[in-house]
Structures are given as structure tokens and as C-alpha cells.
Amino acid sequence: MTTTTLVAPVSLSNDLLTGAEWSPAHTRELLQLSADIKARPGRYASTLHGKFIALIFEKPSLRTRVTFDVGIQSMGGSVVFLDHTQASASLGARESIADVARNLERWVQGIVARVYHQRVLEEMAANTGIPVVNALSDKFHPCQALADFFTLEEKIRRLARLQTRIRRGRQQRLPFSDLPRCAAGRSPARRDGPRNTRPCLKLSPMASAWPAKRKPKSN
């Protein structure tokens, strides 16, 4: 049987550092594409053929590392894992972050990084022309937020009917990443938690700056 392969329509030229850099339309396109890939994986078996993706991890990981690895390989791509979890091999210790990014650009077509500091991702993105994807930093976890909204939409179908409660405790990365995702999914957000855990002023405008959506119709 002949397998038909398709090229993903979502552009690979965009970084995913916070989740706020993608427009609602871009995010909607990604969610729709994700649903199609899940339903018909054979159609995308060669989408990443001949492409190499660097996985850079400063923190130990099970789910994030394995799912990225399996996902890339299942679409025909190859993974180069760079282990920076040991103090002696910390990212930027032997050579600058900028040099790492510029060198990787010569060999791979994308970078996925789990780092301790958001500034590391931003410096990488500023010094390379290939996509840089945030797989967790001290401030944001956009991939997890996207996965959460994909699951919610898959199970509930219409995010407009769902009020997303953002609960923020000591781990604040997901709520910050969820703000733009709520806007993209037309899902009203409600912050839950102590008053002193309010998102900082530099991050709150990410959600408020997105265009207002029409209220869902009631049946």
C-alpha cells in the first residue's frame, strides 16, 4: 500500500518562546493540524524527512524528552540530544550561548530546549535563524499549555463554552503560558489563587493585548 505524505502547513520559521508570539489564527492552525496528525499519522510519516532537531536539556526530563523524540522520529526526522544536566556541562560554560546557537544553525533545522532561565532561549533565538522551541523555562511552558488546550478542545469540543481557571501556586510557568492560549481558544480565563500571586506586569499584557472575541452564543 502506498503511503501519502504531506508537509505540515504550519511554518517552521517561528520561534515558540512564550506562546504569545503566535497569533490566534496561527495557534488555531496548529491545533487543527495536531488533530489531523493524531487521526492520520501515516500521512505525515515523512514530513520531517532529512531534518535534524537538537534537543538541549539542562533539567532532567521523562515525558517532555520522550514525547519530543518519538514525535520527531515518527514524522521522519532525526534527533540530536545534548545533555547539559550536569553542572560540569552547563549550557554556556564552555562556549557562549550565542556561539552554541550559531553553530547548531549549521547542522540542524531546529532547537528544542529545556532551560533554567528564559534569557537563554531568548539569546539563542536572537543568534540563529532556525526555530527555537521552549520546552520549559523558569517563566514559561508553552508546549504544555498548547497540549492542555488541545486536550480540552478534543474532549469538550468548544473551548468557548469553557471557563479556564488559572490556578497559580509556586510553579507559575503554566499560568503565564496559558494567558495567550486562552485568548487564542476564545476561552475566558479566571485567575485562582492568593492575591500576591498575580502575574507580573510585564507578562499580563500578553493576554490583554490580544483582540477581543465575541461572546459565545447560548443555546
Which pLDDT value is given to residue 159? 54
Q: Extract the C-alpha cell encoding 71.
A: 514525535
Q: Domains of the chain: which residue ranges?
A: 24-37+49-134, 142-208
**Alpha carbon distance 131, 151 (integer Å):** 24
Arch. (CATH architecture) of 24-37+49-134: 3-Layer(aba) Sandwich (3.40)
Query: Could you give the CA distance from residue 50 to residue 154 in angstroms, rounded to a whole number?
Result: 31
- What pLDDT is stored for residue 27 in this prediction? 86
Euclidean distance between CA atoms 120 and 26, whole angstroms:
25
Q: What is the pLDDT of residues 14-64, one digit of tens each?
A: 899 998 888 888 888 998 999 999 999 999 999 999 999 999 999 999 999
Question: What confidence score (pLDDT) does residue 217 get?
Answer: 40
Q: Mind listing the pLDDT tens digit for each residue in 203-216? A: 444 444 444 443 44
- 107-134: average pLDDT: 96
Prediction pTM value: 0.73
Strand partners, 190: 165
Has residue 1 got a pLDDT over 50? no
Quick one: pLDDT band at residue 160, thresholds 50, 70, 90? low
Top-ranked range on mean pLDDT: pick from 122-131, 162-171, 180-189: 122-131
pLDDT in tens, 74-107: 999 999 999 999 877 778 888 999 999 999 999 9
Which carries the bigger pLDDT value, residue 72 or residue 2?
Answer: 72
SS3 1: coil
The conformational region for residue 129 under phi > 0 = left, psi -120 to 50 = alpha, else beta, is alpha
Instruction: Kindly indicate the confidence band of residue 186, based on its pLDDT and cuts at 50, 70 and 90.
Output: very low
Going by C-beta distance under 8 Å and a sequence separation of 6 or more, which residues neighbour residue 14?
Answer: 21, 22, 26, 131
DSSP per residue, 104-163? HHHH-SEEEEE-S-HHHHHHHHHT-SS-EEES--SS--HHHHHHHHHHHHHHHS-GGG-P
